[in-house]
Structure 1
Amino acid sequence: MSDQATLHSKETRGFQSEVKQLLHLMIHSLYSNKEIFLRELISNASDAADKLRFKALSASELYENDGDLRVRLSVDKEAGTLTIDDNGIGMTRDEVIENLGTIAKSGTADFFKQLSEDQTKDSQLIGQFGVGFYSAFIVADKVTVATRAAGEDAASGVQWESAGEGDYTIEGIEKAERGTRITLHLREDDKEYLDDWRLREVIGRYSDHIGIPVEIWALERDEEGKETENGKWEKINKAQALWTRSKSDIKEEEYQEFYKHLSHDFADPLSWSHNKVEGKNDYTSLLYIPSKAPWDLFNREHKHGLKLYVQRVFIMDDASQFMPSYLRFIRGLIDSNDLPLNVSRELLQDNKVTQSLRSACTKRVLTMLERMSNNDSEKYLKFWNEFGLVLKEGPAEDMSNREKIAGLLRFASTNNDNSDQTVSLADYVSRMKDGQDKIYYLTADSYQAAKNSPHLEQFRDKGIEVVLMYDRIDEWLMSYLPEFDGKQFQAITKADLDLSKFEEEGEKEKREETKKEFESVVERTKTYLGERVKDVRTTFKLSGTPAVVVTDEFEMGTQMAKLLAAAGQDAPEVKYILELNPEHTLVQQMADEADEETFGRWVEMLLGQAMLAEKGAMDDPSQFLQAVNSLLTK
């Protein structure tokens, strides 16, 4: 068989299993907002035009004597078809198989685990996943795609066709024009999209901001107003890049629709900021804060960043150089007049203009969040619940904005009797007691573990608020956040904790006497435990608990050790200090015990309880149980 015959041979191929699931969902579930299929297909056509414009910077022959980029819509009412035709970059046979037969993204399985019967939730997920082409099957029972890559000869065209079930066909065709033509064979219930007025309405709503002309074939009318056979292509959108227009001329709905075009998200953004800057650097930025976290938010290796344009020419997607990793949820674009048109990712990395734009965009986002937190606490709480964990990466990554980021963090605290993270550090500082110069905090595995920690007892007695931190990242966060508003942070699980300034003088003297009287018990306990603990001390910070374990100021804490272990790293052994409450009945019973063997069992029980409260586990549970059982039977 000749090469030409092989090229044009028809082949049937099966979809990737995830595509089958997605198509089933598109066809059977997403009825609530069918018209979005048109937005997605026009958006893809616009992207194809952007990519051609960029490649043509170094290879102008790709324009093939036709530099007027556009997308055209036409209908055939008899055949029941709607066609979307662009003259963008087009696709090769391999690209068609990769783009239309598979979902070539990591984490696909995780995405489908989240799919449910909830149509609203699924439409958001699909938007977050960015699979807009398949939305064609919401209204079509068959889709035909004819495409040819720019710069290739007419004989290298490719036709792809599928009924949205288990397979598709692909074959070589002759295609004189570059670009992609998508023909939708509309279902009977969706023939409304053959009407001129309906297409104009949808395009006016969703695609007015597209930077290339969207044209529709309009038939001319005779003197009586009837359609003739003659017609012409009529532009029905502004065809001006939205970010180049004046802010005063752009409606809120246009900003929202442009976000959906940009991100392929189905939900409206929470907020946005559109700025044109002239001066040392000339650039325009349009930055959006989404309302829903993408499915791959915690994959730090996944591509993120802004769309980069240079002098209105699209250069690249996901330019991460303009946005730090802790703000990887931000969507938007930046259009610079100061970068060269042939700029690459490598050149961006160490470019001074890039660094300046990154700093400006970062501050812009933080200012947006600051305004939202001050002016709309309900909206900010929605943001925090979606993206708070990622924002907590900020103090470690961005030292120059550490104080500003700290002001945006939210936590639970003992001031509220629930796990909601609504307390800002500024709120905490405003409620500090007279004489209090530290921000007290506690990290734990869960809110319940934090709320019921014995370390809180003296703080409750003295009416001092404690910030409760129970996210896995919190211990790591606090290693990069030494202070806020001039107030140092103090972990309440550290041995150097001193609240004596909040006590009466007479109470201090009484406790010093008790401490001296209890020294012999402390020494007996030290002798029994030996190297198993770093030290044994007397404490008066407990009321209902007999003993706790703490660490020295510069010793690694329990939560950090757990964090390292979860990451598969070797963590040094944490050496704890056992603190005994001499005013507790059980400790007093232990102190009165003359028999050394029974005394040892008391020590084992108290140490085991303290370790259980601190770590949720103990090194030798059997030793603890034997001691408890022995004391109970006695």
Structure 2
Amino acid sequence: MTEQTEKFEFKAEVNQLLDILIHSLYTNREIFLRELISNASDALDKMRFAISCDPELNDDVEPEILIAYDEEKKTITVTDTGIGMTRDEVVANIGTIAHSGSAEFIKQAAESKESLDSLIGRFGVGFYSIFMVSDHVVVRTKSYKDADHATQWISDGKNSYELSTIEAEMDHGTSIEIHLNEDMVDRFGSDDKLRDIVAKHSNFVSFPIMIGGERVNTVPALWREPKFQIKDEQYVEFYKFMTYDSQPPITTLHFAVDAPVQFNSLLFIPEKDLDIFGMDRDNWGVDLYVRRVLIEKQNKNLLPEYLSFIKGVVDTEDLPLNISRETLQDNLLIGKISSTLTKQVLGQLLKLAEDDAEKYAKFWKAHSKIFKAGHMDFLNRDKYSKLLRFDSSKAEEDTLVAFDDYIERAKEDQKEIYYAVVASREAANLNPHLEIFRRKDIEVLYLYEPIDEFVMESMRQYNDFDLVAAEYADLEKLDKFESSEKEDEPEPLSEDQEKDMEALVAKMKEILGEQVADVKISERLSDSPCRLINPDGAMTSSMEKIMKAMNKDDSIPTKVMEINAGHPLLRSMLEIFKTNADDEFIAMSSRQLLESALLLEGYLSDPHALVGRIQNLLTKAGGWYAELEKKD
């Protein structure tokens, strides 16, 4: 029973505000239940605090949130045993929305070109989301401070509300009875549908949420628990619950941060890339909670995309939210959380690399392609660069090298870290650009993927060492190092032979014409007959290929061909040239050298001419060899 019913008219601007809230703001109508559960949880927290502050306060009411659907009445009732409200508090909190600044909100909403979501965070009236789904609402509440009186508030969210005093006995707390609109019954009119909403948005609320006599939120908010109390099995169970991954994670990152923003975080690194076919690249982000209530699933602002392989949750007490909680009000705070979270994750990865090389190798194998994109994160470059790994000319089988490993093995007075883009270790052994490094026993990092060179170009330096492409290494810096082995030096050219070699070089340039920018004698080559370099030296061959592919340019670039004057093939060409400068063999060999170099560089798209030329040379060489065998 009720008595002392009073009717109150909403002010005009409040009617406008309710109209905006109901029809314009929320894009997901199920949010109403999340808002009510969040409010109920707050009320229970306040009750718990009141009990802790007053030891004489006797209270045997079980703290819980009850949700029930009445099929006959078509009502959803959300009840909590929290702190409750007095009549005056009802008027102040839900009876007078104008007190929250509705007039100012409406003014700004009319004048601003921004979305409503960016304006309404400061008004705190999420309770009114229930009018998206209801004809009218009945609120019954009793404060723990008032032993005699409970209050009833009724409204259809249009022009007015009614207040009355309840005579019937009632425990402290609040009960909200929502009379569903006809078109909302199919969406929310069953215990199963309500359970699904709770599981999605409020699964980690610390108080029991009961539907149909059963607790719905059975999974604990593990990130809120002290680390020393949690077993590895619990972490694995929680990870599988979150991700549906059948395998345990490589490692778990669990930490709490107090400044500059307070938050708890529980993150996982999966054992493999969960986007197996590369078709779901947008399915990433960390789940954002506020006081255990899900605010945004897969928030993409908390971690940079190069850490998108990480799964987990972030829960904060400090974040102000807009009224719908569907978008975040204060990007500055999100930025602070993101900055701190990124530093924490990189720090934990560094610790993993130092403490457990085997686990770190698993991480690198699974996620390095995504992680390498972090070369643009200039704020965290120091930590990021220490986490990079590469194959190397001195690496043992199945072992990757960090920059620090390279520096430990560097020669005295060496201040460069050399790298080369290669297809494989076998290709590296045939790479003419790397001959001088093998001869000088200088380590070279092998880059197998296009992004690797972007990493090097972006970083340019590690500690006091410059990152240098082996293709354009400074000869003066390499010449100061002794060769590791005695070389079989070719017999030096005589003065006349040097002149003839210069003439041969000019002839080769004439034969090749516009296919090359120039032909020169190399100072670097020892094993290979020739190599190709860009004329201006501004871009490595591999980077040039990337840029041409991006521009859909399949033409063969014009490069400088450097020849090895000491190579047996060039010496044979020289002897033939001295006898007959127009001999067919000179032209055939010049073209063969160019196309072989283009093939090694990955530019020769049509090898037919090269194959035909090889067959022609083999036929002639076979005849010469047969004649020699007869003479012997």
Normalising TM by the smaller chain, what interval? 0.5 to 0.7
How far does residue 306 in structure 1 lie from its aligned partner after superposition? 1.0
Listed as ranges, the matches of 1:430-469 within 5 Å are 430-469=408-447
Q: Give 1:528 deviation, angstroms.
A: 2.7
1:440/1:177 Cα in 2 relative to 1: closer, same or farther (>3 Å)? closer
- Summarize the Cα distance change of 1:349–1:318 in structure 2 as closer, same or farther, 3 Å threshold: farther
Task: Work out whether 1:213 is the aligned partner of 2:212.
Answer: no
Corresponding residue SS for 2:359: helix
Equivalences for 1:357-372 in 2 at 5 Å?
357-372=337-352
**Kept in 2: contact 1:287–1:330 (CA 8 A):** yes
**2:298 aligned to which of 295, 318, 329:** 318
TM-score, length-scaled by structure 2: 0.62
What is the distance in 2 between the residues matched to 1:381 and 1:330? 16
CA–CA separation in structure 2 for the residues paired with 1:584 and 1:269: 55
Residue 441 of structure 1 and its aligned partner are, at CA, apart by 1.1
Question: How far 1:581 moved relative to its partner?
Answer: 0.8
| Residue equivalent to 1:482 | 460
Summarize the Cα distance change of 1:151–1:584 in structure 2 as closer, same or farther, 3 Å threshold.
farther
Give a deviation string over 1:264-284, Cα, whole Å, max 9, x none: 222222222222222432222
Partner secondary structure for residue 546 of structure 2:
helix
Asked if structure 2 preserves the Cα contact closer than 8 Å seen for 1:496 and 1:553, the reply is: no
Tell me if 1:602 matches 2:589: yes
Q: CA deviation at 1:628?
A: 3.7
Q: How far apart in 2 are the matches of 1:179 and 1:354?
A: 32
Residue type at the aligned position of 2:244 = H
Alpha carbons 2:38, 2:293 under 8 Å: kept: no
8 Å CA contact retained: 1:51, 1:314: no
Counterpart of 2:581 in structure 1: which amino acid?
D
State the Cα distance separating 1:58 from its structure 2 match: 11
Deviation per residue, 1:134-181 (Å, 9 max, x gap): xxxxxxxxxxxxxxxx974589666xxxxxxxxxxxxx9x95657357
User: Which whole-Å CA distance do the structure 2 matches of 1:319 and 1:437 have between them?
Assistant: 42
Q: Given residue 448 of structure 1, which amino acid in structure 2 is its aligned partner? A: E
Question: For 1:144-293, what aligned pairs fall within 5 Å after superposition?
Answer: 152=180, 175=189, 177=191, 179-180=193-194, 211=206, 213=208, 241-293=221-273
Measured in 2, the distance between the counterparts of 1:343 and 1:363 equals 31
Change over 3 Å in CA distance of 1:569–1:631 after alignment to 2: closer
TM-fit CA distance, 1:468 = 1.1
Give the match's secondary structure for 1:342. Answer: coil
Note the residue ranges of structure 1 that are not aligned, 5 or more in a row. 1-47, 61-66, 73-85, 89-149, 159-171, 183-207, 218-232
- Paired residue secondary structure (2:505): helix
2:292 corresponds to which letter in structure 1?
Answer: R
Taking the aligned partners of 2:29 and 2:207, their CA distance within structure 1 comes to 8
Confirm or deny: 8 A CA contact 1:50 1:314 kept in the other structure.
no
Residue 624 of structure 2 corresponds to residue 611 of structure 1: no
The answer to whether the 8 Å contact 2:352/2:359 transfers is yes
Residue 579 of structure 1 corresponds to: 562
1:522 has 2:514 as partner: no
- What letter is aligned with 1:416? A
Distance 1:69 1:511 in 2: 93
For 1:383, the aligned partner's letter is: F
Q: CA deviation at 1:359?
A: 0.9
Shift of 1:241: 2.4
Q: How many residues align?
A: 453
Find the counterpart in structure 2 of residue 401 from structure 1.
380
Q: Distance in 2 between matches of 1:211 and 1:513?
A: 90
Residues 295 and 326, structure 2, Cα contact 8 Å, conserved in 1: no
Checking the alignment, whether the CA contact within 8 Å between 2:66 and 2:211 is kept in structure 1 is: no
Separation of aligned partners in 1, 2:78 and 2:599: 68
- 1:328 aligned to which of 308, 316, 327: 308
Contact 1:537-1:580 at 8 Å conserved across structures: yes
Q: What is the percentage of aligned positions where both structures have the same residue?
A: 33
Partner of 1:596: helix, strand, or coil? coil
Contact 1:445-1:470 at 8 Å conserved across structures:
yes
* Contact 1:286-1:332 at 8 Å conserved across structures: yes
Distance 1:284 1:522, change over 3 A: same
Check if 1:534 corresponds to 2:512. Answer: no
Distance 1:624 1:569, change over 3 A: closer
Counterpart in the other structure of 1:502: 481
Please give the TM-score of this superposition, normalised by the length of structure 1: 0.61
- Amino acid aligned to 2:421: T
- What secondary structure does 1:535 align onto? strand
Q: Give the whole-Å Cα distance in 2 for the aligned partners of 1:299 and 1:402.
A: 29
The C-alpha deviation readout for 1:456-480, integer Å capped at 9, x for no partner, is 3222222111111112422333221
Quote how far apart the aligned CAs of 1:494 are.
Answer: 3.0
Q: Encode CA deviations 1:105-157: one digit per residue, 9 max, x unaligned.
A: xxxxxxxxxxxxxxxxxxxxxxxxxxxxxxxxxxxxxxxxxxxxx97458966
Q: Is the 8 A contact 1:495 1:552 kept in 2?
A: no
Aligned partner of residue 295 in structure 2, secondary structure? strand
Q: Who wins on radius of gyration, i.e. which is larger? A: 2
Q: 2:364 maps to what in 1?
A: 384
Partner of 1:550: 533
In 2, the alpha carbon distance for the partners of 1:580 and 1:345 equals 68
In structure 2, stretches of 5+ residues that fail to align are 1-27, 41-62, 69-76, 80-177, 197-202, 621-632
Equivalent pair of 1:494/1:551 in contact (CA under 8 Å): no
Q: Deviations over 1:28-59 (max 9, x none)?
A: xxxxxxxxxxxxxxxxxxxx999665454899
Q: Matches of 2:36 and 2:555 in 1, distance apart?
A: 57
| Counterpart AA for 1:442 | A
CA shift, 1:210, in A, is 7.6
1:590 maps onto 2:573 in alignment: yes
1:578 Cα deviation after fit: 0.9
Distance 1:393 1:569, change over 3 A: farther
- Over the residues paired in the alignment, what is the CA RMSD in angstroms? 4.4
Conserved 8 A contact 1:539-1:582: yes
Query: What letter corresponds to residue 479 of structure 2 in structure 1?
Result: S
- Cα pair distance change 1:494/1:511, threshold 3 Å: farther
Aligned to 1:473, what secondary structure does the other structure show? helix
